[in-house]
A and B are shown apart, each in its own frame.
Chain A
Amino acid sequence: MIKIENFSYRYEKDWVLKDVNLEIKEGDFVLIAGKSGSGKSTLALAISGFLRGKGKKKGNVLFKGKNTDDYELFDLAKSIGVVQQDPENQICTLNVTDELSFALENMCLDKREIERRIKWALSIVGAENLEDRDTFSLSGGEKQKIAIASILAMKPEVIIFDEPTSNLDPKVTLDIFDVIKKIRKKSDIAVIVIEHKWEYIMKYVNKIALMENGRLELVKTLQPLEYKKTQRKTGKKILEIKNLEFSYGNRKVLKDITFEAYENEVIGIMGENGTGKTTFLMCLMNYLDYSGKILMNGNEIKNKKTSKIARAVGFIFQNPNHQIFESSVLREAEFALKNFKKQGDINYLLKKSDLKKYENKNPFRLSYGEKRRLNIISILSYDPKIILLDEPFIGQDHENVKKIMEMLLEKNNLILMVLHDFKIAESYCSRTILFEDGKIKIAKGGKYEPRD
């Protein structure tokens, strides 16, 4: 059905795809794995026809024997659907029913056919209960299900999933993978999944493609990715939390949290989305009006301004774009250091993070992984003794996670990070806090299973 023949592509100077060959037949279930920047997403754009008019191409991408660039984009869209990484950027209406009917209305189908297809798509993704809900009130996993159903309702011949689970917790990730398996089973739609969390889905696919540096290679199996186990010797107590509670209106989000943490610990904060993990970190920064006690080095932070607490506590938010403020990489790296009027070795950090060569570049033009490293050095510059990270590894590949962890562990500090990846937790965490409905359980190491 789809045939890619010696296809190469470049946006600017460097070739992003090099001599790619791949054939996808009806009913295929294909996994495309590879690091960020290896060309996976560009390949998805090439197949779905979104590269037309941009960049430079060599070779062919054929759909049913005809070059994809020779199709009208709409005709191709009817046959090849794409589910994007972040459903927040895919859902473009305010109501689930409107979202599901969106494509079908554009295709001018009649109402009865639209109704039938909506029912069918909802039943496949298992979201019948969401019909007519307000899209803004859905959880991340529900949003992704609706985004998938809205593509599914078009009854395309191929669906490409471009890292569909990167914003989701492990339990919901498995849900979405189950939905993908079900689509493959219950219809004759060919499925292409682009993922770097491929370990679960690998068992079910019939073709595995590994991308590296723009080249694609078909492989039988993939080697599991490992991290080097790193543990530091713990030092003195620097954080003490007593009976911490917080409510949004009437809803109690944190319930009686008490625990202590020591220098050189790396503490993983895990649990499903919506159980209070982010709220917990926000309290430690005094962003929220909590009750109970938070002592840092023996001092209560309740009456301190966040900008003062920040001198000793670094905070990394989920999305790298939300914490880049300056117009060059160098200035961004020194931003916090200058605000705090402290001294630090920026040059060393720029080299360490491989960003030295981009010193004068606009930081917004860096890749996602590079932006994340820039955020990290921006806080490491003033050497905060406590570092809080809220899902720092979303959309980051294995290499980048290793590099970030190596930089974070170089100095003596306490690290608290919200994360979903068990392998990372097992390799780096001295303890793990599991959040369940605002309460915590503490375990040694990084041992919590997603489904038991």
Chain B
Amino acid sequence: MNPVTKFLILIIYCILLFLFHNIFIIAFLCFLSLFIFYLNLGFSEIKKRKLILTFSFFILIVNFVFLKGDIYEKLEFSLRMVLRFLGIVFSGILFSKNDPNEFAYSLMKIGVPYRYGFTLVFTFRLVPLFDFESNIIRKAQRARGIELEGVKNILNFVRYTFFPLLYSALERVDSFTQSMEGRCFGIYKTRTFYREINFDKKDYLMTAAIFIILAFSIYWRYL
């Protein structure tokens, strides 16, 4: 399936999670997300997300303790929160496993102007670089005697990381601009796309199906 179709499904799935109030429907949607996650990535990938599971338990407790009302109302409300949270997080993680590049090129294929499409490609290009650089900068700070301890040092850490990172980013943007202009980026309104991106029958069917589900749900909920 094309990543754009998957993205559409993700968005509509999240809308559905908030559209319904009935706890059983929300629970069904949440388990659906977990089930698809399990089918695609296996149980070990769910187990790796212990932090998310712990955090959702925390949401449950906090909501339960601080809410007013009778015990069933409180329980239902907090459960709804947690199920929505888990549904969004796991479907989001599942979507992030897609090739970001294919997603960006697919968006351009369906008519998103290529300048915006490449902003996305460019972001994906820069994120690992930033990650790599902030790691080195952090090491360089320790080599000059700054250790991340206490409130004062956290502030220092932010300050001493921000400026080297900013400067390095400015230099990079300069060369990237030269690199793109030097290769005729933006010369015409359109461009050819060498990479094959396919929207097949399955994509059209899924898109149609998900919109029918959305329309049906809205009808059911409000009319």
| Residues in chain A within 8 A of chain B (CB atoms) | 48, 50, 73-74, 77-78, 81-82, 84, 86, 88-95, 97-98, 101-111, 114-115, 118, 135-136, 150-151, 154, 282, 285, 287, 305-307, 310-311, 313-315, 317, 319, 321-325, 327, 335-336, 339-340, 364, 378-379
Contact = CB atoms under 8 A, between A and B. Distances in A.
Give 6 closest A-B pairs by Cβ, nearest first: A339-B145, A103-B183, A89-B175, A101-B194, A323-B140, A315-B143
Contacts of B207: none
A324 B186 CA distance: 36
Interface string B184-207: 111110111111000000000000
Given A89-B175, A106-B184, A310 B100 contact: no
A381 to B, nearest CB: 10
A94 B125 contact: yes
Contact of A287 (B129, B139, B175, B178): B139
Given A321-B168, A325-B164, A339 B136 contact: no
B35 interface: no
Interface residues of B, number: 49
B145 A340 contact: yes
A92 B188 CA distance: 19
A94 B118 CA distance: 11
A317 B147 contact: no
23 contacts: A81-B182, A89-B171, A91-B179, A92-B121, A92-B176, A94-B124, A102-B185, A105-B193, A106-B186, A108-B188, A109-B192, A111-B192, A115-B194, A118-B194, A285-B143, A307-B147, A310-B143, A313-B143, A321-B164, A322-B136, A324-B164, A335-B144, A339-B146
Majority DSSP secondary structure for residues of B touching A: helix
A84 B178 contact: yes
A105 to B, nearest CB: 5
B144 A325 contact: yes
B144 A323 contact: yes
Interface in B122-166: 122, 124-125, 128-129, 133, 136-137, 139-147, 159-160, 163-164
Contacts of A311: 145
A105 B136 CA distance: 36
A357 B113 CA distance: 50
Nearest to A150: B183
A105 B191 contact: yes
A74 B188 CA distance: 10
B105 to A, nearest CB: 8
B48 to A, nearest CB: 15
A92 B117 CA distance: 13
A176 to B, nearest CB: 18
Nearest to A102: B183
A104 B195 CA distance: 12
B184 A92 contact: no
B51 interface: no
Nearest to B167: A364
Nearest to A382: B145
A82 B192 contact: no
A414 B179 CA distance: 42
B45 interface: no
A306 B191 contact: no
Nearest to A323: B140
A321 to B, nearest CB: 5
A307 B146 CA distance: 6
A306 B140 CA distance: 10
A321 B144 contact: no
B181 interface: yes
A305 B147 contact: yes
A317 B136 contact: yes
Given A89-B172, A94-B100, A311-B145, 13 more contacts: A90-B176, A91-B179, A92-B121, A93-B125, A94-B101, A101-B194, A106-B183, A108-B188, A118-B194, A287-B139, A307-B146, A336-B144, A378-B144
A322 B179 contact: no
Contacts of B175: 84, 86, 89-90
B66 to A, nearest CB: 40
Contacts of B145: 307, 310-311, 336, 339-340
Nearest to B129: A88
B110 interface: no
B163 A364 contact: yes
B194 A97 contact: yes
B178 A50 contact: yes
Contact of B133 (A91, A97, A322): A322
Contact of B187 (A74, A81, A88, A150): A74
A106 B171 CA distance: 24
Given A321-B167, A322-B168, A97 B100 contact: no
B39 interface: no
Contacts of B178: 50, 82, 84
A131 to B, nearest CB: 12
A237 B147 CA distance: 29
A339 B144 contact: yes
A245 B121 CA distance: 38
B93 interface: no
Contacts of B159: 325
A306 B192 contact: no
Contacts of B164: 321-325
